[in-house]
């Protein structure tokens, strides 16, 4: 891990903090971005992690099972374990399935 930038910030009465601009720039955080805020089990630290919101209709793609299959597919492709075919050839093949 590279250099860690730390800066003391104040929590206001509503629990709001301002993430310093240098830290926002370092992690690519912009206005209206989402972050995950988590407390450690021992209550001694808080993690703020940038997140990307996923459209609910696309959430299936990011499930653990689907991502596992995507990884296997990419490995097959990189290893040359693929067959190239035209759309017409593919439709003819599955028609005989």
Could you tell me what percent of the chain has a pLDDT over 90?
80
Question: What is the CATH architecture assignment of 1-53?
Answer: Ribbon (2.10)
Query: Mean pLDDT, to the nearest integer, of 25-51?
Result: 94
- CA separation (Å) from 85 to 34, 43, 49, 96? 42, 56, 43, 15
Q: What's the mean per-residue pLDDT of the chain?
A: 92
Domain locations in the chain as residue ranges: 1-53, 56-95
Per-residue pLDDT averaged across 47-70, rounded?
94
Is the per-residue pLDDT at 4 higher than 90?
A: no
């Amino acid at each position: 891990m590279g250099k860690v930038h730390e800066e003391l910030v104040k929590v206001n009465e509503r629990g709001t903090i301002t993430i310093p601009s240098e830290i926002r720039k370092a992690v690519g955080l912009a206005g209206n971005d989402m972050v995950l805020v988590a407390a450690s089990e021992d209550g001694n630290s808080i993690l703020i992690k940038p997140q990307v919101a996923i459209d609910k209709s696309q959430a299936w793609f990011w499930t653990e099972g689907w991502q596992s299959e995507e990884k296997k597919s990419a490995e097959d492709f990189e290893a040359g374990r693929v067959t190239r075919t035209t759309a017409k050839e593919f439709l003819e093949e599955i028609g005989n399935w």
